[in-house]
Amino acid sequence: MNVLLLGVATFLLFNLAAGLWRVMRGPTAADRMLAAQLFGTTAVAVLLLLAEGMEEAELRDIALVFALLAAVAAVAFVRRVWSPGARHDAD
Amino acid sequence: MSAGLVLDGLLAAILIWLAWAALSSRDLFRAIVLFIAFGLVLSMAWARLGAPDVALAEAAIGAGLTGALLLATWGRLRGRKTSEEQPHARPHQGEDDAD
């Protein structure tokens, strides 16, 4: 049970590492920000699996804070950064 | 605990790569997003090391608040740069016949 949960968390972490590719070469800023949102969701899942696997209930609170953090980052991005139609070209 | 060893090694590798990528990125927005991802992964590393309080502080302050502030700052910088008309400044090419 413990090994299964840690294995699934490792698989999700590999997913996060694969999502870094989109952060590195997303053509627009929205692509990069959506990849960061994916990282937030993946981190919530990994922390919930770790909370079950390591028998530490405090990790669920950190997962809750991560869910809040992703929403705050998305709101900051949409209000302050994103203008539709603007192509933010990376060098 | 070989599964835990793989998880910890992967966390450490992603952390080191993210730190290098965020520091060496020439695009500011990409560096900000990489910094947010670095905060997320570092918080998972603290949780894995058995320090949930530090992980909570890192998630709230290191990734969340600082990330939102950096995003707001980047938007304000870009707005100031694009509010005025972009002067079509051509680089001086030496003996180029610029009329």
For residue range B18-34, list pLDDT tens digits in order.
999 999 988 888 999 99
B7 backbone dihedrals φ, ψ, rounded to 5°: -65, -45
pLDDT band at B81 (very low <50, low <70, confident <90, very high): low
* Chain A residues with CB-CB distance to B35 below 8 A: none
pLDDT at residue B13, as a whole number: 93
pLDDT surpasses 50 at A30: yes
Q: How far is A79 from chain B (nearest CA, A)?
A: 8
Q: Is A67 on the interface with B (CB under 8 A)?
A: no
Report which DSSP code applies to B27. Answer: S
Place of tokens 């905060």: B39
pTM of the entire predicted model:
0.81
Of A57, A56, A10, nearest in space to B10 by CA? A10
pLDDT at residue B83, as a whole number: 53
